Structure 1
């Protein structure tokens, strides 16, 4: 007997009893994006590896350890996208979308990173992202953060997710700071964890992300980028904080917040929670004024964020939020299969918003009623032989106490629609 084939480790099926919650969440996120005039963009899952090595940086963990990269039959090196922003930038340049400032797009879909699967971190994971191009004012940063704040309220998660912000300054600020940070760390080199020792040569700012207690203790006294900010970057961050205060959006300035990708500058932010253990970042992003030029386009400021769908779903589940899907009505029948299907099709034609299930497997009326009850449908449409011969059907309320009523077959769609509207309050 052949062994069953299993899914790839860290890549999970989303089963029929789970997808209603996914759709519930997706509908609310897309509705909030629309309220801020964002427009959806749909991107390939496969990209040329340069899309990410240019943007993310060769020395990041994503490129060095986590990307699914391979050579295809034409000799091109491709990869499964590990994040969305670089692909959006590639698309915007390729299709000439950046000529007018103020492009606002959102995306959703699976991302891929080869890392150790754990709660809140999988090899195939799903993100929503939002990106704004061509606007460098602090107002843009704050509106994007306000969008996140509104989203948490829409999902009922306000108060359980907190905002942390920082500024990474401009390129010159980071170069100046990098030299000072390396000088500070040099005497501690041998006490740093292995990853941090490597980052000393490649991306020392990422040492702030170390989980090593000894490294964290060393970094507690490290110089801060905030002390190296130029006048423009400092003024920009002060404007961001002032407007957040004006909008009543609570935040904490976290000077150790650096973000993991090379393209970030100025404002960076994370929405974090204490409810998901080590994987507490729910949404993260920031400004990337150099990224379009790094990808071959003209200098164009940008800012965006990405949020983790699985992590939000875990929080919603813990909060007791649930969504389910079932048919509105279930047809049981003593008449011929063709007659049953003809009636069902007539109902679907005349009542397109109605979900209708049918007893395709046949069987006794008792067994059909059991399937109707298990289906979760609110109403049962009964096609009895005698009633069908008279041009009638019965509608039975399976979840309430309204009993059973007889309806002419030509009025069946309208009656079911009326019942559905009354049940949903429409």
Structure 2
């Protein structure tokens, strides 16, 4: 069929409402990276808190510069062989005008670029949770540069770029189940298989040092995720973004409750860590599927993800891989679950008329989802393992055993998260003095 002729009157015009909406969504997604830093920072031991915060925070700096220089062009430029994009005008943002519109939409190219930048920032930051306590900060920074270049930018083009093979196949990924969560989770698995376990894994207690910090981080993630998901429709004209917003809340609530129920049955308690982890699992699972399923479908997606992710986090002890903060169990598994369930729960009344098996659509969409899910998983896992192996054999990925045991914060950043030396007098000071005196007596005895 010959392309339709678009009259000047029919061409999209800049919408100040959609532009403002997308700028707000971009800011919300940016907030998710500090939120992730708090979430991860509270889950590690005291001696690793600052390092965990910095592994997320540094992504804001490195990925921003790479995105401007060439990342946006690779991800969303003119398609080259269905694998990667490239548009010279996007390099350095030099050829983009302030009123140039993103093709087919009513928002400027700059707005689309900055929104997608926030996705590119948080995706590698997700990986860092699996590597807690043991990775050199310089090595992590170099890995981040290589990973977004070799893995994230091309995969983003596969999934969302016009001409990308997954996009053209019809793989549904509303806001990042494959490109963000499976991509990051598989990368985390690839890296930890190369660098190995923490000192004392399965022997020493490695409990979260600050559950309030974890809950704060989870709350910020939940809040920012509305921009992450609803904003991915790139406007607010036809109600699909509102469906995604509603489904985000519903699936997250269902996943949290399902995780807690599983935890109570399995371990006998409702934990705050379980509530936070369950909420994140629901956010992950609804990310690819929320524009395709109904609110009832969102409950099913969230509940299934909550239980399966809760089950998956224990696999690291069974199989012996040290996924420090459950990136594989939550992000990879949650992304796989949410992406594949589209093949069953797509209602045909959301972002497209595609229907899943339970709505009379057969298995066609499920097989398309499988193709996207397992291609991204395999590519990210293998490529990430190779990058980690190269860095480990050249500059070394891990800190020394002594530095890991004594604390990576002091070794890598010359700082500690909490300074109790200036507590002084009062109740706290007296308690500290009494504790010190007791310990001295024990030593003398």
Fold conserved between structures, TM > 0.5: no
Greater gyration radius: 1
Q: Which has the higher contact order (CA 8 A, sep 6+)?
A: 2
Which TM class, normalised by the smaller chain length? under 0.3
TM-score, reference length from structure 2: 0.24
Normalised by the length of structure 1, the TM-score is: 0.25
Q: Which protein is richer in helix relative to its size?
A: 2
Greater percentage in strand: 1
